[in-house]
Structure 1
Amino acid sequence: MAAMCQYSAAPDGDAAGVATDWHFAHLAARATGGAGLIITEATAVSPEGRISPYDLGIWNDTQVAALQRITSFLEAQGVVPGIQLAHAGRKASTERTWIDRGRRIAPEEPHGWRPVAPSAIPFDPASTTPDELTGEQIGEIVQQFADAARRAIEAGFRVVEIHGAHGYLIHEFLSPHSNHRTDAYGGSFEGRTRFALEVVDAVRAVWPEGLPVFFRVSATDWLTENPEDDREGWTSRDTVRLAKELHAHGVDLLDVSTGGVAPDAKIQTGPGYQVPFAESVRNETDMPVATVGLITDAVQAQDILASGKADAVLLGRELLRNPYWPRHAAAVLGGQVPTPVQYHLA
């Protein structure tokens, strides 16, 4: 199961960022449904790194304790618990998606704050202009990712995924659309990827050697590779190049998604529309890949794996519609998934 935000934690006080009964029920249902790996929603490495005030966090011990309850249950069902570590960058301080379509919360409003980014460029005209990060602040965020990874181990997670996609902070550094820096963290491909690699190195340094590190990437911004768009962005060729660097720095799997850095980018969608980007990385590098994006059918998913287009399939919205999708898929494909002992009479 891919990471999917629930916007259901308390926005402030001692319970800020702490997993609730909703998170337990949401993730536990997919565990009893037969998922093999479950990745939590984007979990912020700092209060300012949350997408919304209602996101999960992992910057304190109270948050760790609540997550331990969840990981213990997942492992008891034979599920591998994974966590996605994130910093929202300039897309931070927003409302929940069902409130005014996730409008931006101004810094002076309750539960609002001023976002940070590689460059002082707002995500869209309605967004707050972010503060441009200093070199010292960049180092502090790298350390926050490392500290969050340490806490994730304590919380019982066995897979950590670094969120470098969807227009959030790491992606903002990668893309020339959002990174206009002229120092060592901008300009060239090497400069724009520096922050991502520093985060990977910091996480890998504290994460157990025998446990995997994933990295989620937006394979394209849908800008440069759109003939109708003359803006410069991150491309699928950049992703292949980055995959080689990430693999050399200890990333075990690239979770390939797309888009997110420009609100008006023209995305070309369709069933399995993101699979070709994962396939390119798999064919041109030694990096194992996972694919996502409008994968809904068991035969479709199996074909992606059997034909060598990807090494893993991560489902999102289909598992919201049907928590027991893995069980139905096993029935269609003639496979088996573990069944809770309580269901053996069903």
Structure 2
Amino acid sequence: MTSTPPTAPPSNDHRSDGGDAASGTSRAARARGRVRGLVRRGARAAARPGTWRRGPLLTASALLLGLLMLLHGQLPNGFGNLGSLVETLLPWFGGFVPLLLAAALWRRSPATVVALLLPVVAWVTLFGGLLADKSHAGGDLTVAEQNVNAGNPDPAGTARSLARSGASLLALVELTPRATADYERGLAGTYPYHTVQGTVGLWSRLPLSDTRTIDIMDFGPLAARKPAAAKLTANRALRTTVATDRGPLTVYVAHLGSVRVTPRTGFWTTSRDIGVQALAAAVAADPSPRVLLLGDLNGTVDDRELGGLTSQLRSAQVAAGNGFGFTWPAAFPMVRIDQILVRGLTPDSSWILPATTSDHLPIAARLSW
């Protein structure tokens, strides 16, 4: 007896494919319809009388925010150094944009949404270039700097971490006599040459010569503004010459005076500003074709009061960094007050080193002739 094999049921694959395609087309059509509906409803809402008058305070705030960022240089410094304070925190003003946008959407204020274009354009114009990675390969010399914090609980550990940075030149500021011994022991195996002048020091793989201190708290006509307490201040700046295979390099290491924000004085920067002008005068008078400044300047390159230095020297972070490179406070960095500035050298890259037990993050850069 011969059995007949069962006949397979007819395939419905082509029907399934067609159904899926039709379903996908239908979903896309519905999505387009919803978008068109939203646009029509938005257009009708915008055309209603009074819609553009919603949220006048929000609209005014958006415009003022944009003008503040665009015209920050016009803010006076006569009252509590307001201009310098705004310029120090200027990148963070962009954080008000999403807050105002959320409020505008809640109030259904199209005027505020349009007004927010001004601060967005202003912020991108000022800081958009910092967001791109401008580093590139190459570099003849790697340098690093850190404010190691006078109250650092583990200077020996900080020294071990910095010794692994790969830098040929390492500048440390806010040294104390007791901690300096720890840094000298911890860095001796990596850096055969070093100099410490007061609270600042430079460790080097290359020979140093012609080292001297710079009084950044008492300079010419600025001496009258020198606070009485500053007479006891230890030296906070040095100048030295590094012997490289490409010729001599002049290096400055500095820790400018601290700044304070108080209800009575506002943004107090007197000792720092004296130091900026003294250091700027020393750099201007220096005949060296190649100059490197490493240190905690207690100010950002956007602060007008640092103009005496930033008009002569380039910021490695601005020229070859990736992002803002904030350094302080280490737990939640908000500003970059530690700087690597150069003249006669080309920054190839700039970056933040791993955190130590200091309240500042260490920074590094690769430079080429």
Larger Rg computed on CA atoms: 2
Higher relative contact order (CA 8 A, sep 6+): 2
TM-score by length of 1: 0.35
Whose strand fraction is larger, Structure 1's or Structure 2's? Answer: 2
TM-score by length of 2: 0.33
